[in-house]
Structure 1
Amino acid sequence: MTRGRQERNADRSNIHGDQDRCFDGGHDLADAIHQMTETMKQQQEVILRQNQQRLLIENRGCSYEKFLIHRYPNFMGTEGPMKANKWLLDLDRTFEISSCTEKQKVQYAGHLLQGEAGIWWDTKRQLLIRELGNITILTWERFTEEFDNRFFPESMKTQKAQEFATLVQGNLTVEQYVAKFMELGTFAPHLIATEKMQAQKFQAGLNPRICSYVAGFHIHNFQELVNVAAIAKAK
């Protein structure tokens, strides 16, 4: 009988021990979940602060004084289509490094339009206000579209694409030919869609003597081809 009582006591002790171990295991799991939750919360707070800082910078953009540091030239409207196109492309790059907002891009670009271009913009601006209701919602994309329509129309872009299609070195130096090739190539990207196509188009336009020299190297890299052509010119 004593032996039976001892066995029952031992069984109860084992049960309590298992329960204690289960309790400890559950406690450890709860701690782990709590720690994981806190870590995720901290990470989310860091991401939130970073996004808030980014939005603050984007909304602030760049002041006009900061933009003026670049000393970007005015556009008068009499420079011609190609210079108009270059002026706008370079201005867009300046805006990018200055972190200007959409609103600031339109404001600053409008201020740089002087002479005939300034008169055009004053009229166009009033028309856009009637259309949009508020000039502040005018996007930079819409501004560049209106600018191109006036100073660099589609007919001119088509003409430049045709000039590129028939471009040859002629009396140009290799350096001048490269510059012209790069300038006009932006209007016919389908003709130089790959590195190989670009090299082939450039080589085909070289003067016969230089073309024959570089052809033997079977070069498909544009910059390498330009370098070899410059060497051939010197020979």
Structure 2
Amino acid sequence: MHPPTFDGRGDTNAAEDWIQGIEEIFSILKCTDQQKVRFAALKLTGEAKRWWNYEEVIREAKGTRVIVWAQFKHNFFDRFFSKADREARAREFINLVQGTMTVRQYAARFVELSRFATYLILDEERKTRKFEEGLNYRIYE
């Protein structure tokens, strides 16, 4: 597997896909948080690399050089996956129903969008209820 690079261009899906690709590698390598950040930073190019270099300068000036993976992702998404896009996906999740999708397609879309509205599905019971409520009436019954 070739680790993906990210140059900061493209749509928001490119940013999300890059994070997913990097995290797949992390799941295999069992990296620490700091190793994840260093590895991810090595795979940034172009505009994304300039952004990261600027982030490091700011943290160094504040005396906070260490950054954990969750904070890297948060900062990364703030820069390359706009809040408006994330909120639009959360609204899409809120309004998600099966409609003409197969159950498998609905389930895949549910999982994909659920990441943007975790505040709605704080536990498995709520997540299951939300999923079931979106199913076509015949299946739900």
Deviation at 1:82, TM superposition (A): 4.0
Q: CA 1:206–1:96 in 2, change beyond 3 Å: closer, same or farther?
A: closer
Matched positions, count: 141
Q: Which runs of 4+ in 1 moved over 6 A?
A: none
Partner Cα distance (2:139, 2:27) in 1: 42
Q: Which residue of 2 aligns with 1:123?
A: 54
Q: Does 1:212 align with 2:141?
A: no
Deviation at 1:104, TM superposition (A): 2.8
Partner Cα distance (2:124, 2:31) in 1: 33
Q: Which residue of 2 aligns with 1:185?
A: 114
Alignment equivalent of 2:92, drawn from 137, 152, 163: 163
Q: CA 1:90–1:213 in 2, change beyond 3 Å: closer, same or farther?
A: same
Q: CA 1:91–1:145 in 2, change beyond 3 Å: closer, same or farther?
A: same
Cα displacement string for residues 133-181 of structure 1 (whole angstroms, at most 9, x for unaligned residues): 7x4x343343223212212344433222211111122343332221111
Contact 1:76–1:116 (8 Å) recurs in 2? yes
Q: Does 1:174 align with 2:100?
A: no
Q: CA 1:80–1:132 in 2, change beyond 3 Å: closer, same or farther?
A: farther
Q: Which residue of 2 aligns with 1:66?
A: none
Cα displacement string for residues 51-83 of structure 1 (whole angstroms, at most 9, x for unaligned residues): xxxxxxxxxxxxxxxxxxx42211122243344
Cα displacement string for residues 100-131 of structure 1 (whole angstroms, at most 9, x for unaligned residues): 34443222111111232223223333333333
Contact 1:76–1:114 (8 Å) recurs in 2? yes
In structure 1, the residue corresponding to 2:55 is in which secondary structure? helix
Q: Does 1:200 align with 2:129?
A: yes
Contact 1:110–1:118 (8 Å) recurs in 2? yes
Partner Cα distance (2:27, 2:139) in 1: 42
| Larger RCO, structure (CA 8 Å, separation 6 or more) | 2
**TM-score when scaled to structure 2?**
0.75
In structure 1, the residue corresponding to 2:133 is in which secondary structure? helix
Larger Rg: 1
Q: CA 1:144–1:176 in 2, change beyond 3 Å: closer, same or farther?
A: same
**TM-score when scaled to structure 1?**
0.50
Q: Does 1:92 align with 2:23?
A: yes
Partner Cα distance (1:73, 1:195) in 2: 32
Look up the equivalent residue of 1:159 and give its one-letter code: A
Q: Give unmatched runs, 5+ long, in structure 2.
A: none
Partner Cα distance (2:16, 2:53) in 1: 20
Identity %: 35
Alignment RMSD (CA, Å): 2.7
Contact 2:121–2:127 (8 Å) recurs in 1? yes
